[in-house]
Amino acid sequence: MATALNADLHSHSTRSDGTLDPATLARRARANGVQLWALTDHDEVGGVAAAATAATECGLRFLAGVEISVSVAAQTVHVVGLGVDPDNATLLEGLQQVRAGRELRARRMAAELERDAGVAGAYAGACRHAGNPALISRTHFARYLVEQRICSSTHEVFTRFLTPGKPGYVDHAWATLRDALAWIDAAGGHAVIAHPARYPFTSTEEWALFEGFKAMGGAAIEVVTASHGAAEVRKYAAIAAEFGLRASRGSDFHSPHESRCDLGRLPPLPDGVDPVWELFD
C-alpha cells in the first residue's frame, strides 16, 4: 500500500474517553473516506467486537487496537498496539492490571480538585461522562468542569487543572514499556509510540526511549497525528528512519466537538517512510 493510503490508526470510543460508540465511529470513518481504521481505546479492548462488526457492514477495513499507558523516565507514554487479538489472555490480564489503578487515581484527583480548587462533586461528575466505569480518565473530569462552567473548554481544563503541577493532577505508575510490548506481542500485534512530540523528554531521554522501544521489538512511530505540525512530522519521519522503525498515521480522534482533527482528515505520511500498515498486507 502507498503512503497516501487514508489510514486512521488511532481513535477512541465511549469504551474509554471518546464520546461516540464504536459502531458510530466506524460509520464516521467510512463517511470521511478512511480506507483502514483502528479503534485504540485506552487500556481496553471491549469495543473492538462492535467496531469490527460495524466496519464490516459498511465496507471498511479494520484493525483491532488498544492504547496502553506506560511509565518511562517519570513520564506517561502511550503505546498503541495494532492488529491485536482482543481475546488474548495475556493482553487482557495486562490491561486489567493497568485499569486496576485508575479508580484510586480518579478518587485522588477528585479529592485534590475539591481541596485545592474548590470543585465539588468531581468524582460523581466524571463518572457521568464515563461510558466505561472502569476507565475514568482526566478527560472525563475535564468534561465535568466544562459542564459546570468552571472552564470553557477541555483544553482549558487541562491547562489549569490536569497537568503536572496543577491542582487536579495525580501522578500514577502505569505499565512498564517492556510489559506493554510483551502483551501486544503475545496478542499478535505491533507496537507504535503514539504522538511522540507530546512528551517533555530531553533529547537524550527521547533517544533512549526509541532505542529501548526498538530493542524490545517495537514496530513504529506515530509520525502523522493531530498534535504534530509539519516540523514534528519531518522530525519523527527522520527518527523512524534512523531507528529502522515504521511510520504510523492516526488522528487520536475522541469527539466531534473536542478533537483537533476529525477521522481521516490528516495529511498523508511523508515520502521516504515505511508505513506500518504494510505489516498487515
Q: Strands, DSSP E only, in 4-73?
A: 7-8, 36-39, 61-72
Q: Residue 256 falls within a domain, yes or no?
A: yes
Please report the pLDDT score of residue 132 as a whole number. 87
Residue 118's pLDDT is 96
Are 124 and 248 within one domain? no
Q: Structural domain tally of the chain? A: 2
User: Is 2 within a domain?
Assistant: no
* Domain match, 106 and 211 both: no
Q: Report if residue 169 sits inside a domain.
A: no
Q: What is the pLDDT of residue 173?
A: 82
Mean pLDDT of all residues in 27-51: 98
Quickly state the pLDDT bin for 1 (edges 50, 70, 90).
very low
Domain extent for 35: 7-99+174-280
Q: Is 34 helix (H, G, I), strand (E, B) or coil?
A: coil
pLDDT of 29 over the 90 cut: yes
Single residue among 160, 184, 204 that ends a domain in this structure: 160
3-state secondary structure of 246: strand
Could you give the percent of the chain with pLDDT greater than 70? 99
DSSP state letter for 197:
G
Mean pLDDT value across the chain: 96
Query: Could you give the CA distance from residue 51 to residue 68 in angstroms, rounded to a whole number?
Result: 18
Q: How far apart are CA 162 and CA 112, in angstroms?
A: 11
State the Cα torsion 57-63-69-70 to the nearest 10°.
170
Looking at 129, 160, 191, the residue that finishes a domain is 160
- Which CATH number does the domain housing residue 154 bear? 1.10.150.650
What's this model's pTM, rounded to 2 decimal places? 0.88
Categorize the per-residue pLDDT at 171 as very low, low, confident or very high, splitting at 50, 70 and 90: confident
The verdict on 83 and 119 lying in the same domain is no
Q: How does residue 168 score in pLDDT terms, banded at 50, 70 and 90?
A: very high
2 pLDDT band (50/70/90 cuts)? low
> What pLDDT, on a 0 to 100 scale, did the predictor assign at position 134?
83
pLDDT category at 7 given cuts 50, 70, 90 is very high
Which pLDDT belongs to residue 104?
86
Report how many helices (DSSP H) and strands (DSSP E) the chain contains, helices first: 10, 7
Cell of 99: 485499569
- Give the tens place of pLDDT for each residue, 116-141: 999 999 999 999 999 888 889 999 99
Reading the block at residue 76, the C-alpha cell is 506517561
Q: Is residue 28 part of a domain?
A: yes
Is 65's pLDDT higher than 80?
yes
Mean pLDDT of 256-270: 96
Tell me if 229 is assigned to some domain. yes
User: What pLDDT, on the 0 to 100 scale, is given for residue 133?
Assistant: 83
Answer yes or no: do 188 and 237 share one domain.
yes
Q: Would residue 29 count as lying in a domain? A: yes
Residue 212 belongs to some domain of the structure = yes
For 77-134, the three-class secondary structure string (H helix, E strand, C coil) is: EEEEEECCCCCCHHHHHHHHHHHHCHHHHHHHHHHHHHHHHCCCCHHHHHHHCCCCCC
Residues 71 and 122 grouped into a single domain? no
Look at residue 185 and tell me if it is in a domain: yes
What tens digit of pLDDT does each residue of 228-255 get?
A: 999 999 999 999 999 999 999 999 999 9
Same domain assignment for residues 214 and 275: yes
Judgement on whether residues 141 and 248 belong to the same structural domain of the protein: no
Look up the CATH number of the domain holding residue 44: 3.20.20.140
58 with 89, same domain? yes
| Residue 154 phi, psi dihedral angles, 5° rounding | -65, -35
Confidence tier at 205 by pLDDT (50, 70, 90) = very high
Q: Which residue is listed with cell 477528585?
A: 110
In the predicted model, what is the mean pLDDT of residues 263-273? 96
- As a whole number of angstroms, the distance between CA 138 and CA 62 comes to 28
In this structure, the answer to whether residues 83 and 196 fall within a common structural domain is yes
Question: Do 68 and 80 fall into the same domain?
Answer: yes
Same structural domain, 155 and 206: no
271 and 181 assigned to the same domain: yes
